[in-house]
Chain A
């Protein structure tokens, strides 16, 4: 290509002008074409969230299977043109995470020529961690492995300047080789505008994994909320049951406050009810992730430096550990 291009430029001027204009037009036209949703054959619906419907689909051109997410736009201009901030933000946040191993990969954005709807095309991973948990809880070693992957993914996610805001077992996918990938970016947002993170979309998120600062509708929250959600996930991995079971925001606030009191008064014994088999180091990690005050929580990178992750098999039962 490098050899051809200079030769082409040496052609006589009029010709060159015409051909480069033609090439320009062609290039522009080809780039105008978004991927068409007709290129995908919808196979089955695999999930429905607050922000859209996800379907398994086959790429007619390659035969490969992908996940296609239709985003509920809902907002239209007066003359009917869809105004889709939801798609821009979700696809923009996913695109910022391209190449990160623990994040589901965006492949493309396809459009429906007739309705103007946009679809996010992603790699197909599954099933969800939720469906895995329905069989039985994880052992401590399995939990440690899962949490290492999840904290690693969230560390990289936060490094891109993105916060997820809806981490829960439905939004964590389990690959065939045991790798975990975070998906469900419908609520993700750039984290940079400290103090003005938008609250409006939180209504669709799973309440039982919301951090205290999100529950009290503080405008001052950042990546720490994802860490709290990971704490909830970790407890659920070990016990098989959601840590919080409240169904209203008020009850949720009460339950998080109760947990805070338990942690303050009982320390690492706070989790005796649900996971008495967990090692002391594991409890320290869990208590850290679930710290009520956001500034007390470790960052994902700091959590991974805890001895529970770095010194495997040092200790087994909590009783055998010095006081």
Chain B
């Protein structure tokens, strides 16, 4: 009797395995969907996690709004920053052939997307916040989109430089501003290059201190680096990375200013830490919704060519600096009008900001060397 049970169990297990196989190895039926040129079923492969009011949540909101207009559906998969999952997940999703479009983002996804796109040429991909290599017809089933975040860094640098020489309440006499990045990644270096050029645009004799935490989680070390820069005379520090709250803490301790990134620092801090919120000059925000939504529409309408890259500039509102009550309380009015003239100049396209994307180490080092007072 016991033996019979075991055999039945085995049979059931085998049936389960077999049915799993059949659903997987049947992409032909769904392949027709793709040639339909309507993009309804979307898979969003998230590198990190959802639900932290992070960039990925903004992207998901953009996709959700988009699929509502075409009566479609969006599924998500969270990789939890586990890089070993990136490529295997993309491969599995592409293998099912159920999705008209796979959306994913950030520089760490370049290679996984490239490999998957090569293996599944009928699958379409949208990758945001990074630039793919489209030379020699590679990745012809992918589009990538980026905002010119270096322009955000440029404006933050310009405002910081104008404030450090002004008579704002917590500005000191030293011509020094700071920058604390999470890691020396291309994306963060892009912010740094814009920041240095923005400072130098206003006054090349201002020094820019910059340091990197070395990871995305150590907020206490970020605080230490911030404190160290404030002690060396910086009165504004631009914190770029997920551990920026540590630098905000340093700003509150040192009684100096902070420029945040990714979300509105003053809004986040004002309910629990008013003192820290009042030191937030502004936050540079990449509009992920503004980055992804127009791309989805363009893809659906067929107005975008596959195998191309798009930039969304500050003038097109891809990136912006928060201007709220805290900003206005900190910045003296004559400084603000100076700053606005820089914004106009940038939007008119008269200023070309260097970027770390696609730049060689020498080019990046050249901009870094301009951080010293000239």
Q: Do A and B come from one complex?
A: no
Could you tell me which A residues sit within 8 Å of B by CB distance? Answer: none
